Amino acid sequence: MGIEIRSPKTDKEWVEYYDLRYRVLRQPWNQPIGSERNEGDASEQHFALYKGINLFAIGRLDQCEGEKRQIRFMAVEKNVQGSGYGKLLMLEMEKYCSNHKVNEIILHARESAIPFYEKLSYQLQEPSYKLFGEIQHYLMSKKL
């Protein structure tokens, strides 16, 4: 069963995509269903890692000013975190950026995710914001 990274295609795949985003990034903090979506979902580039028909990791790549992109909404199914799926997804998003003449990627990492991004050569810049008043995020960047 091979791994495929692509944007969701069918209605069912989109439901699963947003469900994963909600369950990993919003539900643990008792946020309402719907809080996992925003206006950028209609226009930005979505990435989903499938093994067979099963969805295991997701992320979104947003356009920024100039030749810069921002990775947002990174989520990996809890039962497979640490399996390398997040790294594969990140490498695919970086490849996409390189192919589209992007020279820098930024992201806002939760404190617990900083070591993951540092292993992928992202540099910690500064504290950025607190999500839901309690989850400190940090601006990180990587030059391509």
What are the extents of the domains in the chain? Answer: 3-103
Q: Which fold has domain 3-103?
A: Aminopeptidase (3.40.630)
Predicted pLDDT at 25: 95
| Dihedral over Cα of 5, 122, 62, 103: its sign | negative
How would you write the pLDDT of the chain (144 residues) with one tens digit per residue?
Answer: 799 999 999 999 999 999 999 999 999 999 999 999 999 999 999 999 999 999 999 999 999 988 999 999 999 999 999 999 999 999 999 999 999 999 999 999 999 999 999 999 999 999 998 888 888 999 999 999
User: Can you read off the two tokens belonging to residue 91?
Assistant: 């490498």
Predicted pLDDT at 82: 92
Residue 118 CA to residue 11 CA, distance in Å, equals 35
The answer to whether residues 124 and 133 touch, using CB atoms and an 8 Å cutoff, is no
What does the H/E/C string look like for 80-112? HCCCCHHHHHHHHHHHHHHHCCCCEEEEEEEHH
Predicted pLDDT at 133: 82
